[in-house]
Copies of this chain bind each other. A is one copy, B any other.
Amino acid sequence: MTQTTARPEALDWSVEHCTIARAMAVLGEKWTVVVLREVFNGVRRFADMRERTGVPRQVLANRLASLVEHGVLRREPYREPGARLRHEYRLTRKGFDLYPLLVAVKEWGDRYLADADGPPLTMIHRGCGEEVHTALHCAGGHPVTEFRDIAPRPGPGARRR
């Protein structure tokens, strides 16, 4: 049993401007990352996403609208012969910059939640064909593999509570 430990230093600092919370306000709704997975996989049209994911119509419409509003996706018009004008969804730069996050989600899922035959999807490096992974390193050039070697510190925008 742990005896009383020191008061965590983090308690002195405000979380009001936290960028993790802000990022999760964009990404943390159920299905949002699944919708992004579809677009990263080249599935860009509403009907295709509906068919493949089974996300309820209204939920899918809301998630796509929110991602467009946050500048993660953009709507591109297209027209099938004889059909009305529709839109497909494409990643913006802000959206593409979610790739490391998506790979990190997938790696953790692959490690702990895959079936015995392995994950249904891999992400490969075009050209060499090898699988893509995330790694942590520091700005000083060191690989960071031991999580005990990472320490949180107040950043430039830190405010005391």
A sample of 13 more A-B contacts (CB under 8 A), given A8-B44, A23-B112, A135-B135, is A9-B42, A17-B120, A18-B119, A19-B106, A20-B37, A21-B34, A21-B109, A28-B30, A71-B112, A104-B104, A122-B154, A128-B142, A132-B150
How far is A118 from B107 in the complex, measured between Cα atoms in Å?
A: 29
Q: Report whether A101 and B105 are in contact in the complex, using a CB–CB cutoff of 8 Å.
A: yes
Q: Report whether B125 and A149 are in contact in the complex, using a CB–CB cutoff of 8 Å.
A: yes
Q: How many copies does the complex hold?
A: 2
A32 at the binding interface (Cβ < 8 Å): yes
Task: Tell me what chain A mostly uses at the interface: helix, strand, loop, or mixed.
Answer: mixed
How far is A79 from B4 in the complex, measured between Cα atoms in Å?
A: 7
Q: Report whether B22 and A109 are in contact in the complex, using a CB–CB cutoff of 8 Å.
A: yes
A-side residues, CB < 8 A to B, are 1-5, 8-11, 13-24, 26-34, 37-38, 40-44, 48, 51-53, 71, 76-81, 88, 94, 96-115, 117-140, 142, 144, 147-159, 161
Q: Which B residues lie within 8 Å of A142 (CB)?
A: 125, 127-128, 130
